[in-house]
Amino acid sequence: MKTDTAYYVFDLGRVRERVAYLRRLLGTEVSLAYAVKANTFIIEGMIPYVERLEVCSPGEAAICERLGVPPEKMVISGVYKTPSFIERSVISAPGRIYTVESLTQFDLLRALSEKYQKRLPVLLRLTNDSQFGINEEDIRSIIADRAEYPYLNILGIQFFSGTQKTSLKKLAREIRHLDELLVSLEEEYGYRAEELEYGTGFPVSYYDGESLDEEALITGFREVLQGMTRRPKITLELGRSIAACCGKYYTHVVDKKRNKGQNYLLVDGGMHQLVYFGQYMGMKHPILSVCGKETEPSTDSWNICGSLCSMNDILAKQVPLPEIHIGDTLCFENAGAYCMTEGMALFLSREIPAVYLVTEDGKHVLVRRPFETADLNTPREEYSER
């Protein structure tokens, strides 16, 4: 593809293969929930391949609705759920599952379930010692009093402790703790959880030289699950582990220079369009290549800088590259999760890049046109009541 701005390409076949690979390692008794915050462009492609989609904002819910995600496949999660959104959702999308993130949310869900006499499936989210979820004592008291909430169908527990977890020991510790909680809920309150939804935070290797034995980690984790005393239905919430590999980000070399002995490549994208987890001031080397020169030997090292008027806008420092010219295109790998949304898209009022999907039959389809942001950063009198 030849365009004159940066763009993303997300490959749906690659995502499908990735899910199949994860399932092979995890076994059939584990379900998958795709955390759509990782990449909303692949949602439609994911619907047949995952049991659930985890949705954390009204905007994400609207996207899922437009793309035909069935309500019963949606877990409405997220630390703050707008009351009006939840009310609309309860009325118009029966079957959606809600996580309980606070006692305020619990009261809201309870009140709405009673007001509309609709049985709402809920998961009680255990806190990870942050602003998310509720305390174990709160879970216990909700379970103890569950007869008072006939319209709430308490499916079980949800827990997410963080992303990029490479330690099997840490995963095992968390699962052991959750298992103990499930056992004690049964022993103390006669409550047998049907479900455990767990945000595993499986890691992705983004940088040159990183080594991760993914197969050992995931099969080890499977054994940890098999060792649980209670085996409710287990759903793993996965974002980056599913989506990262499907995406590439392309940006063009628009200028090159040598300043004080350092080589600089300027590209038409930048840090507002490409954010890798753990990257800071380009200190790590994302996996990248120069299109059409993948097999050529490197001749020099370059600092790759974006077009923002910010000295922080460095995508990578001292990257060895083949002979490179203005007009060449750089391809950054593993850009399928978060990379394209976590940047400061409105900074400097630059363009938001186009998105292409590669469909199962190999076609590139433009699914978002590039668009200007200048309008969004322009004050307009017509909104004023003056």
Ligand X SMILES: Cc1ncc(COP(=O)(O)O)c(C=O)c1O
**Cα 384 to chain center, whole Å?**
37
- How many residues contact ligand X, by CB under 6 A? 13
CB of 240 to ligand X, least distance (A): 4
Cα angle vertex 221, ends 217, 222, to 5°?
A: 120
For ligand X, the binding residue among 39, 241, 307, 329 (CB under 6 A) is 241
For ligand X, the binding residue among 11, 101, 195, 237 (CB under 6 A) is 237
Phi, then psi, of 112 in degrees rounded to 5: -70, -40
CB of 43 to ligand X, least distance (A): 14
What does the alpha-carbon distance between residue 86 and residue 115 come to, in Å, rounded to a whole number?
13
Quick one: 241 or 307, whose CB is closer to ligand X? 241
Q: Is 77 a residue that touches ligand X (CB under 6 A)?
A: yes
Please name the helix (run of DSSP H) or strand (run of DSSP E) that holds residue 24, with its range, or none. helix 12-26
Candidate segments 173-181, 208-216, 234-242, 254-262, binder of ligand X by CB under 6 A: 234-242
Q: Is 266 a residue that touches ligand X (CB under 6 A)?
A: no
Phi, then psi, of 368 in degrees rounded to 5: -145, 125
Site for ligand X in 8-37 (CB under 6 A): 35
Candidate segments 3-11, 89-97, 170-178, 235-243, binder of ligand X by CB under 6 A: 235-243
Site for ligand X in 145-204 (CB under 6 A): 160, 163, 199, 201
Q: Is 239 a residue that touches ligand X (CB under 6 A)?
A: yes
Q: Is 235 a residue that touches ligand X (CB under 6 A)?
A: no
Quick one: 199 or 247, whose CB is closer to ligand X? 199
Total residue length of the chain:
386
350 half-sphere exposure, CB direction, 13 A CA radius = 20
Three-class secondary structure of residue 198 per DSSP: strand
Quick one: 76 or 238, whose CB is closer to ligand X? 238
CB of 159 to ligand X, least distance (A): 9
Candidate segments 16-24, 184-192, 233-241, 315-323, binder of ligand X by CB under 6 A: 233-241
- Buried b / exposed e across 174-194, counting CB within 10 Å, b at 16+? bbeebbebbeebeeeeebebe
Q: Is 133 a residue that touches ligand X (CB under 6 A)?
A: no
- Residue listed under structure tokens 């593809």: 1
Q: Which residues pair with 358 in a beta bridge?
A: 11, 364
Burial of 169 (0-12, 13-18, 19+ CB in 10 A): exposed
Quick one: 76 or 319, whose CB is closer to ligand X? 76
Three-class secondary structure of residue 87 per DSSP: helix
Site for ligand X in 91-130 (CB under 6 A): none
Quick one: 163 or 307, whose CB is closer to ligand X? 163
For ligand X, the binding residue among 32, 238, 288, 314 (CB under 6 A) is 238
Shortest CA distance to 17 belongs to which of 336, 366, 371?
Answer: 336
Quick one: 133 or 353, whose CB is closer to ligand X? 133
For ligand X, the binding residue among 11, 54, 174, 328 (CB under 6 A) is 54
Quick one: 201 or 353, whose CB is closer to ligand X? 201
Is residue 182 within 8 Å of 149, Cβ to Cβ?
no
Give me 309's structure tokens.
């008027």
- Residue listed under structure tokens 């590209």: 267
What does the alpha-carbon distance between residue 370 and residue 66 come to, in Å, rounded to a whole number?
21
CB of 335 to ligand X, least distance (A): 14
Candidate segments 4-12, 115-123, 237-245, 343-351, binder of ligand X by CB under 6 A: 237-245
Start-to-end Cα distance in the chain? 48
Q: Residue numbers of the site for ligand X (CB under 6 A)?
A: 35, 38, 54, 77, 160, 163, 199, 201, 237-241
